[in-house]
Structure 1
Amino acid sequence: MKLIRFTLTVAHFFIMIFLLGTLLNAYVPPKTFPYLNLLSLAFPVLMILNLLLLIFWAVSRKKRGLVFLLLSLILINPTRRWVNYSEKSTEKPNLKIVTANIHSVQDGYGEIFSYFKSVDADVVLVQEYRTDFNIPGYPYSQMDHKVVAINSKLKIVSQKILVKTEIGGGLLCDIEVNGKIIRFISVYLHPFMFEKTKLTETPEINTYKPKVKYIVGKLIPTFKIHQNEIAEIRKAIDDSPYPVILAGDFNAVPNSYEYYHLGKNLKDTFMEVGNGSGTSFHDYQFPIRIDYIFCSKSIKPVNYQVDRSVKISDHYPVIAEFKID
């Protein structure tokens, strides 16, 4: 039994090191050491293992469990970025937005337009549209080259393309909301471009090691591309004379370099007013939150919802409401 406890202690130590290592993504860029960013992808599994071991130490009445518990308290906010509970806001919203990656839409926009009209948001931000995206009833729209678009019922007073690559994009629109200008930024960071057949058992890839090599080979270069894209988007946020709402598909999970640096000095609306799981991408059998809505500290989030009632693509739409004073 002593050997088992010693082995579990060593395992728990390394699990805790890996979990705490995700905090370094706020400081260490991918071009310096990209492997830290890999830890953010493993965070849910590592945290579940941590919780199971904490229960084991509690049942075993071992003092070492208290040490691991105290270290785990540091990880409360990183965990809340995946699963959260917040009290219902009493504020009355006066701005509603929805963001969605609509990549899997193949047969025109009829169904998706109907969905957005039923949501009745003031501003709609989409990623990976295929042809001109103009929702009926939304008189203002801006698009780049089939990557990101913004449709608005409210007046767009200025716009700018921030990031424009073949498969990544960022779009800025300054929109008049209740007499104030709010800067909306729709983001789609460079995707990882996984071939799904290579993530399952096939004659070509039938062992664990080649799959890991393939996945890491896709992740590391993309992390570095994200660093360049984030620098351009951050400038639009930092230089903004107006409050900012940043939304879209970051192609990155919570506690990653992308999360920390795009969300710097902004509020994660899921953490502010969201409940339950923040998972927004449902194509893999693994909890993945990669769609976000952030806002400036001067903006009050009121409601946040990942709408799992529809499957308009491989992403669930994310809806948020705000109080703009």
Structure 2
Amino acid sequence: MKLFLLKTWRIIRGSLRWTLYLVTALVACLYLLGAHSPYIRPTLTTIPALLGLTFPILFVLQLTVSLYWFVRGRWRMVGLMAIIFALSWSALSAYLPINRKWEHEPTEAGKQIKVLSYNTSAFGFKRHSPSSPNPILQYIKSTDADIVCLQESMLADKAEYGVTFKQLKAYLGEQYPHIDQRNAQKHGSTLILLSKYPIKEVHRFPIKSHANGAVWYKLQVDDREIMVVNLHLESFRLRKKDGEGYVQLVRERQALRLKEALNAKFAPTFRAHNVQADMIARQIEDYGSERVIVCGDFNDTPISYARRRIAHSLQDAYIERGNGFGFSYTTWFFVVRIDHILCGGAFVPESSYVDDAATMSDHHPIHATLWLPNPKQ
């Protein structure tokens, strides 16, 4: 009997050990696939994009597995876990950048340009009057940014329904003498550029979408021309009940149903992002990426195909100079940084941050200060 119990225990122990190895391998594969999802086109497969969307969860799972092997003193496995984290370093640094405060003393003559990008959600659906200014218009004015890109900034026909273009221009026109306002689509999201610099040209990207899109501008900054892109990529149209449904499926351990629900909701948007990002990236490459600034609501995470594709020849101001997660969207069950500011090699990012104290919209605004050195003679 003792021999039987001993053999049974050995079989159970061996099975548990191999189960742990299989779980470790599965978690590591999913984690690495999520970390490298920006390099896989969603038009080919959307599975990596979905894993990239859940990267923080995968990171926690990978960390838990790694700590287990560390506590057990299995140093070979610990070494393997360290290699896996090293292979995902670019994703980790994009999601959670940690930068020392940079006390920049320009060694060359040039110009400091403050940039603000803000999805205003129709200016918080608040009215505006001289005696009671709209909070978002007040905020924009207080930042004194040189270039302001606004998304989802629908303007009302009448003052009783919200902010009108006439009110916006009267309140901000002295500070921003150059204003462009147009819909991304015929009846879509409104994109607005407020600029202290003259607007030479305006072009709408021919993006196929019901409501979203992008516009690019040529601005004259002293004796130089720069390109500014204001974009609002395809929305996932997430609702509170979507998040509640996903959480419920997790609680019920309905993995297959959760996968089907996520795929049905997210896959079409990921594929749309692929096409939209490719179009925008090609225009940036055709223009020449050195003097380019890209702002907007990407509706996608720091480790997404869309952000990586558009940022291919650019710098991400927040990754270069920001600190922490910098969540710009914190509504219901969805907490993520989906608003980004990118710039070309002619600029030096000095600072960047997401202002989580600004709660007038469902997005927090993102700021960046860029240094534009004078061209070398």
Please, what TM-score do these two structures have when normalized by structure 2?
Answer: 0.79
Matches within 5 A, 1:293-304: 293-304=341-352
Gaps of 5+ in 2: 1-12, 106-110, 129-133, 156-164, 184-188
Matches within 5 A, 1:224-243: 224-241=271-288, 243=291
SS at match of 1:252: coil
Aligned match of 1:89: 102
Aligned match of 1:101: 119
SS at match of 1:200: helix
Conservation of the 8 A alpha-carbon contact between 2:243 and 2:333: no
Aligned partners of 1:19 and 1:314: how far apart in 2?
A: 29
Deviations 1:287-310 (A, max 9, x none): 311111111122100000100111
Deviations 1:107-136 (A, max 9, x none): 235111100111110011111111146434
- Matching residue within 151, 159, 172 for 2:202: 159
Q: Cα 1:313–1:322, aligned 2, differ >3 Å: closer, same or farther?
A: same
Task: Indicate whether 1:188 and 2:235 are aligned.
Answer: no
Task: Indicate whether 1:170 and 2:214 are aligned.
Answer: yes
Q: Cα 1:249–1:60, aligned 2, differ >3 Å: closer, same or farther?
A: same
Cα distance, 1:218 vs structure 2? 1.8
Aligned partners of 2:68 and 2:58: how far apart in 1?
A: 15
SS at match of 1:320: strand
Amino acid at match of 2:64: L
Aligned partners of 1:223 and 1:248: how far apart in 2?
A: 17
Aligned partners of 1:166 and 1:108: how far apart in 2?
A: 27
Please, what TM-score do these two structures have when normalized by structure 1?
Answer: 0.91
Aligned partners of 1:8 and 1:80: how far apart in 2?
A: 29
Aligned partners of 1:320 and 1:247: how far apart in 2?
A: 10
Aligned match of 1:284: 332
Aligned match of 2:93: 80
Specify which structure has the bigger relative contact order, considering alpha-carbon pairs within 8 angstroms and separated by 6 or more residues.
1
Aligned residues: 324
Conservation of the 8 A alpha-carbon contact between 2:321 and 2:349: yes
Aligned match of 1:305: 353
Amino acid at match of 2:153: Y
Conservation of the 8 A alpha-carbon contact between 2:330 and 2:362: yes
Amino acid at match of 2:89: I
Amino acid at match of 1:106: F
Aligned partners of 1:212 and 1:130: how far apart in 2?
A: 35
- Matching residue within 46, 54, 78 for 1:65: 78
Conservation of the 8 A alpha-carbon contact between 1:147 and 1:169: no
Aligned match of 2:149: 125
Cα distance, 1:215 vs structure 2? 3.3
Cα distance, 1:211 vs structure 2? 5.8
Aligned match of 1:263: 311
Larger radius of gyration: 2
SS at match of 2:303: coil
SS at match of 2:364: coil
SS at match of 1:324: strand
Q: Which moved more, 1:83-92 or 1:40-49?
A: 83-92
Amino acid at match of 1:48: V
Between the aligned residues of both structures, percent identity stands at 24
SS at match of 2:336: coil
Conservation of the 8 A alpha-carbon contact between 1:186 and 1:248: yes
Deviations 1:16-63 (A, max 9, x none): 212221355344322211222111111111111112222222221102
Amino acid at match of 1:112: I
Matches within 5 A, 1:191-230: 191-200=235-244, 212-230=259-277
Q: Cα 1:311–1:29, aligned 2, differ >3 Å: closer, same or farther?
A: same
Aligned partners of 2:116 and 2:95: how far apart in 1?
A: 19
Q: Which moved more, 1:113-122 or 1:145-154?
A: 145-154
Cα distance, 1:91 vs structure 2? 2.1
Q: Which has the higher helix share?
A: 2
Conservation of the 8 A alpha-carbon contact between 1:198 and 1:211: no
Cα distance, 1:163 vs structure 2? 4.2
SS at match of 2:219: strand
Gaps of 5+ in 1: none
Conservation of the 8 A alpha-carbon contact between 2:37 and 2:51: no
Q: Cα 1:139–1:219, aligned 2, differ >3 Å: closer, same or farther?
A: same
Task: Indicate whether 1:111 and 2:135 are aligned.
Answer: yes
Amino acid at match of 2:19: T
Deviations 1:78-126 (A, max 9, x none): 0111111112222257110110111161123511110011111001111
Aligned match of 2:131: none
Conservation of the 8 A alpha-carbon contact between 1:40 and 1:254: no
Q: Which moved more, 1:98-107 or 1:36-45?
A: 98-107
SS at match of 2:335: coil
Cα distance, 1:321 vs structure 2? 0.2
RMSD after superposition: 2.4
Aligned match of 2:323: 275
